[in-house]
Structures are given as structure tokens and as C-alpha cells.
Structure 1
């Protein structure tokens, strides 16, 4: 089984040769493992930096954004490989910290987790460090960032507010600065407790379990919404906003999984490279939906197909002669088995050698005047034509 269009653009051998010698950085400038300044992402860091800059320059974020983790599937050996039990799609891989737009899933910034040994740890914790680094370029722009309990702390929410950024997030009740009365609180389902510290509001709400929310926006009132069973329920406004604005990274993951290459590679940086390229294509699709207001917009699949055609258009025109040499023989395509074929005389009284008789004494001595006009190969009309179009391994 194969996809014939791929062979019309590039042969398998040429693709593998390019992949073998593909590099994104100069290996001679890499710092050795045992020396200060070692960067485990040296091979891929230029691509990440360029794409992060491109993502930021070509898209203006809406007010609601979110920060969450993303996993690039990888089962090979590498010091950056992580196990994340909360991920359903794939639990082993390279962890990324992602800043995304809440409602579209647009990936705005990516930060690869380098591990404890290769990153300076903040005295305020890793979650605080990640959110502040990703949000620093967006301070004092009235953005609202949503995070989960791994990142949220009273200090983070306070500091974001001091820098003109709103924040909402679930939080662990034992975090430093949280009300001590929340630690052993017992509430009936639907009950709510609210405490304030300046502009910071802490909400403790009893659903199926106790939920604790920190926020610098919204009010303590309850609002009506519909749960997963279709029942109308009243929940705190902070919880509703968290539910609506936390899914940006997960939405981006869903779009990525549709087209992410699922090939095996022992080199971690290659997996990151192709993941970044697919991320760029998904971001382009989001920009397309937001920019072009037409009735007949392309869906995700057709957009990617059109993108591939546009990228390959110049290549096909400019290297036509080269493609003739690199295209795989037509007799290896599945189309010769499934489509309709008829024998015809070769135009202009030309003659060809039969591809079925290849390697035989008859092939070396004779040329024939019959061919398959669809497959463009010479075929003896007495048996070879039927053999060629009915057997996958017609040479045997």
C-alpha cells in the first residue's frame, strides 16, 4: 500500500537521505554534558526561538489566555523524557509549557521543560516561574490568564495583578497564603465559602468534591449553567469562567493530534522539530478561520491539503526533470491493480521493452509495440499485460 502523490514529489530514498543529514544547529558549538552551560535543546533551540517569535508577531491574543502543559510523544531514551499519568493520549514524552488562547487553541508561546538539572529554580516554585516567564511580554495589557492547581498560588495571583494581568485558577488548599480554615472545611454539596485579601478572592465550593478557586476577576455570586447531564445547576461565577477559559491548550492538542506525524525516531529533537512544524500549520489554520470571513471556508483537512499543494507547487514546476528521475516506477503503484487499463499501440510507431519480461532472454533481445497508456509502460499483449495488472509482485 502506498500514496502515489508522495512519489511524484520526492522518492523515498531522497527523503531518507535528507532526513539523515538534517540539522537545525551547528553541533561543533554545543557545550559538552559535563560542562556549565550545557543545553539539552541545542539541536532544536533555533527553530523553537524562530517559531515562538513568528507566533507572537503574526497574531494578536484576545483577553482570555491559559497556561498548561503539553506532551510530545517520545519513547526513546533521553534525559528530558517525562511520565505524565494524567495524559490519556500518551503518557511518555517531552513536556512543554504552553501559552495558548483560550477559545481558539492558538499556540502563542512554547517553553520546553529541560529538567531540574538544567534549569534555575525559582524560590517561588516552578509553577510561578513558568507562568511569569510566559506572561511577562503581556504584562499591563489587561489579559486574563487561567491556570490549574500546579501553577496557582496566592503570590502568583497577587504579582500578576500588580503587573496589570488578571488570573483565575484552581489551587491546593495547603498553599502558602491560603486561608487555614479551608484546609479542614466541610460543606454540603452546592454550598460556597468566600474570603477576600485585597483584590484577591478565594472561593471554596462543594461539588462532587471540594473545589478551591483563586481569582482577581468576577464576583462571589452564583450563575446558572448546564452540566454534562443537561441539568441546570447554579455554580460560582469564578468556577464557570475557569471552565470556559482553561481549555485552550487541550483544544490545541486536539487539532495537533489529527496531523501529528506518528513515526518512530530515536532522536528526540526530530520529534520536537516535526511537532513544531505541525503546530505552525495548526496556527495557520486558526489564523485563516479568524481572518477570512467567507461562507465556504475550508475545513481543517482541506486546509492542510491546500497548504501542502501550495508548498509543493513551485517545487514541482522548478524540478520537473529531476522528478522524472526520482519518481518511483509506475509498476509499483497500487493504481495498476485497482484502475481500468487497456492495451494500446505505442504512438509514432515507437517500441519499448516489456517490464514483465525484465531480466529474461526475451527482454534483452526484443522490443514491443504495445503498452498500457495509463501506466506508460511497455507490455507484451500475450500474458504479460494481464500478469502486470493482476499481481502485486508480477516479477515473481
Structure 2
């Protein structure tokens, strides 16, 4: 495979036009100027020469599939802490602890994550926060021809070139006003369906007009038009690199969906508890993905059955604590009362008889003269099933 620095010099003059005065006037990088691609359908970037095995074996620690993606994740938390962040476009949790996540694009398997510690607690990178997050996550996996996908928060020409120097391919949407982007992209007037392609030193910049203008940077793939189906089921024509981005970018979101299915719903003012339980559920999702994609068995459990069996095997026969949750808040000196400590159940009064409720009747309520057919057989008193039965058996002064 040719090195990226030799690609531009070997291009056919019919495909690439170097007479693009607007972009050749000034360029602030040693990589050289951007060249205009005359025929995007004939211009193809090299494919990654992946050097690790793909498939189920890649789920073992330290190994990645070829296609991975980087995105942010929020662990829901509304208490007071300096790490708490707000992200408006996260529907599940807008407030919480932000994580940088490296995930498999196909399965949603989370390979690595870093906690964002805030602007004051992290070293400032001269290349930006998104640049440093991607480089930290991918550092153990350089020089293996991976293909990493990210969104416009992370993408910049500097990041794409530095990854390419470490033999790591990348694709990402990009803000057209980023430093070192083609100057003709910034004020381009395009109609729906128009495509503009430029290349420089192994990197391709694509600008495509759909409902709005989208700009991408990539080191692999092509901008040729392909037919695909949109969300409404209609056949549409889009550049191939757009389809590649759409397929590869959803890995972190897929992992979020699997985690949120069985995320514990509890309130806590302690940030470490939220992170702890998030880590446990994430580990359970790891196990499910490995089981689903690696083990060869005749019958495979779905996610719910797998999660239930995992919890049962972890707890085993070592469950401790009282079955009566309300008993924990009853003072010790009152736990000898039979109605507060024993197990009681509502039942119908025999022979169709009725009794007044011991809680709500005769205490100024609207049901003073009402008789009900339900009672507690052990306590021999009439009780309303909704509210009064629980109040009578959990409160010392149930008349209040």
C-alpha cells in the first residue's frame, strides 16, 4: 500500500486539478495546498490494511475490530460536584458525569473510557479538547491501521493528519471554519445534491448539500454516488463516504442503549455511587456482547434473560436483610408490636360482613360511617386496602 505522502503525486491529471487559485493563495501547513477533484466518482482513497484479526476474538482485552468510534457519554447525576456537566442533546441524561468513550462500531462494545475532569483539572491541549480525547483513547492502538469515526466536536485537519502519521485512518464530520480547512468551503453556495471534493497529502475533504451543507474529512473511502434508502424508505443518492460515516458512527449510542435497558434507577447525592453502578452495568453489557457474538450454543438467551441469570449467579444464596423494607425505619423499642413486625395480608371478612376502617373511620374523615368488606385477619380490624392497610402496619401512630 502506498504511503499517504506519495498519493497526491501519483494522481491522474484528469481526476485532480491543481489550478484552484482560491485554495492555493495561502496555506499555513507544510502539507501543501488543497487540490480540487474534478471527477469524484473516479477518485478513491486507500482502504486500511488492518493488522489484527476481526470477529469474536477481538472482544478480548487489548484487541479492537477495524472500525471503531469515539463519542461522549453521560452518567446521570444531579447532585453537587465539580465534575457535573450539562449536554443538551443527550435525551437519557442531560446532567451528569461526562465520559470519553472508545467503542466498537458494530457491536457497541466499549473498549476504553476516560472521565472528563473539567477544564480546571485537566491539562490544556494546544490542539483542543477533542483532539486530546481521541489521542488518549487511541494511544494503545496506533500503527495497526484501525479506522476511527468521530463527529464535528473532535474532527480537525490536525487530528486527521496526526492519526494518519500513526497509521490510523479516520472519518468525521467537520466544522468548515476549522483551521487548515479549504477556504472555498467556508462561503460555498451549493444546491441540494451538489458535491465538492478536495484532496491534500492523503486526506480527502468532502462537502455535500442535503437539507443543509455537510463537510467531512477522511483518509479512506470514496465520494462516488451510491443508492441507499433513507429513514422514510425512499431511494436516495448520497456520497459513499456519507454512508460509511452513518454506519460506523453509532457504536457508542448502541452501547448506551444496551446499558440504559437495565440501568439502576436510584437517587444518590454521592457521585461515586453513580459511577460504580454504571461500571457494573457496563461490565454486564460487556459479558452479554461476548456471549452473544462469541459462544457457539444451540439456544442463546436474550438480553433480559442473560441479565437475570447473571444477577442470580452473582447473589446466589447469600441474600441478607429483612424482607420488610418498612421495618428498617421503625425504632427498635417498637419492633415487638405484632402489627409492625409480623407478615400480614388483607382478606375478605367472612360471611359477607363489613367493618369500619380502623385508620380512616371516626377521625374526622369523609368515610366516618362507611363500612368496608376488607380486614386484617390476624389483627381482627377492618382496613382499607389502598393506603390504610400499609399505614396501620408500618406506623406507630397511624391516626396521624
Mark yes or no: TM-score above 0.5.
Answer: yes
In 2, Cα distance between equivalents of 1:383 and 1:112 = 55
1:303 corresponds, among 302, 306, 309, to: 306
Aligned to 1:345: none
Deviation at 1:121, TM superposition (A): 1.1
1:203 corresponds, among 187, 199, 206, to: 206
1:26-41 aligned within 5 A: none
Aligned to 1:10: none
In 2, Cα distance between equivalents of 1:332 and 1:279 = 39
In 2, Cα distance between equivalents of 1:135 and 1:216 = 16
Find out whether 1:271 has 2:264 as its counterpart. no
1:123 corresponds, among 119, 126, 131, to: 126
Find out whether 1:178 has 2:181 as its counterpart. yes
Asked whether the 8 Å contact 2:68–2:149 carries over to 1, the reply is yes
In 1, Cα distance between equivalents of 2:273 and 2:377 = 50
Q: How many positions carry a matched residue from both structures?
A: 296
In 1, Cα distance between equivalents of 2:199 and 2:232 = 33
In 2, Cα distance between equivalents of 1:73 and 1:253 = 12
DSSP 3-state at the match of 1:203: strand
Find out whether 1:166 has 2:180 as its counterpart. no
Deviation at 1:315, TM superposition (A): 2.8
Say if 1:218 and 1:81 are closer, same or farther in 2 by CA, change over 3 A: same
Find out whether 1:218 has 2:221 as its counterpart. yes
Say if 1:393 and 1:148 are closer, same or farther in 2 by CA, change over 3 A: same
In 1, Cα distance between equivalents of 2:298 and 2:209 = 45
Bigger proportion of residues as helix: 1
Asked whether the 8 Å contact 2:67–2:146 carries over to 1, the reply is yes
Say if 1:288 and 1:339 are closer, same or farther in 2 by CA, change over 3 A: farther
1:286 corresponds, among 279, 285, 289, to: 289
In 1, Cα distance between equivalents of 2:75 and 2:377 = 55
Say if 1:298 and 1:338 are closer, same or farther in 2 by CA, change over 3 A: farther
Cα RMSD (Å) of the superposition? 3.0
Task: Give CA deviations for 1:270-320 in whole Å, capped at 9, x if unaligned.
Answer: 11111111111111111111112334211111111000111112635xxxx
Find out whether 1:100 has 2:100 as its counterpart. no
Asked whether the 8 Å contact 2:145–2:168 carries over to 1, the reply is yes
Find out whether 1:312 has 2:315 as its counterpart. yes
Deviation at 1:388, TM superposition (A): 10
Say if 1:386 and 1:122 are closer, same or farther in 2 by CA, change over 3 A: same
In 1, Cα distance between equivalents of 2:143 and 2:339 = 64
Say if 1:197 and 1:299 are closer, same or farther in 2 by CA, change over 3 A: same
Using the size of structure 1 for normalisation, the TM-score is 0.68
Asked whether the 8 Å contact 1:66–1:245 carries over to 2, the reply is yes
Q: Where does the alignment leave 5 or more consecutive residues of structure 1 unmatched?
A: 1-54, 317-322, 341-380
In 2, Cα distance between equivalents of 1:306 and 1:262 = 20
In 1, Cα distance between equivalents of 2:304 and 2:219 = 40
In 2, Cα distance between equivalents of 1:332 and 1:240 = 64
Q: Where does the alignment leave 5 or more consecutive residues of structure 2 unmatched?
A: 1-57, 328-337, 349-375
1:1-396 aligned within 5 A: 58=61, 60-313=63-316, 315=318, 323=320, 326-328=322-324, 337=345, 384=379, 391-392=389-390, 395=393
Asked whether the 8 Å contact 1:56–1:109 carries over to 2, the reply is no
Deviation at 1:217, TM superposition (A): 0.6
Deviation at 1:61, TM superposition (A): 2.1
Aligned to 2:364: none
In 2, Cα distance between equivalents of 1:243 and 1:337 = 56
Deviation at 1:57, TM superposition (A): 5.2
Deviation at 1:175, TM superposition (A): 0.7
Say if 1:226 and 1:312 are closer, same or farther in 2 by CA, change over 3 A: same
Say if 1:382 and 1:285 are closer, same or farther in 2 by CA, change over 3 A: closer
Say if 1:235 and 1:337 are closer, same or farther in 2 by CA, change over 3 A: farther
Asked whether the 8 Å contact 1:140–1:164 carries over to 2, the reply is yes
Task: Give CA deviations for 1:47-72 in whole Å, capped at 9, x if unaligned.
Answer: xxxxxxxx985373211100000011
DSSP 3-state at the match of 1:118: coil
Deviation at 1:258, TM superposition (A): 1.3
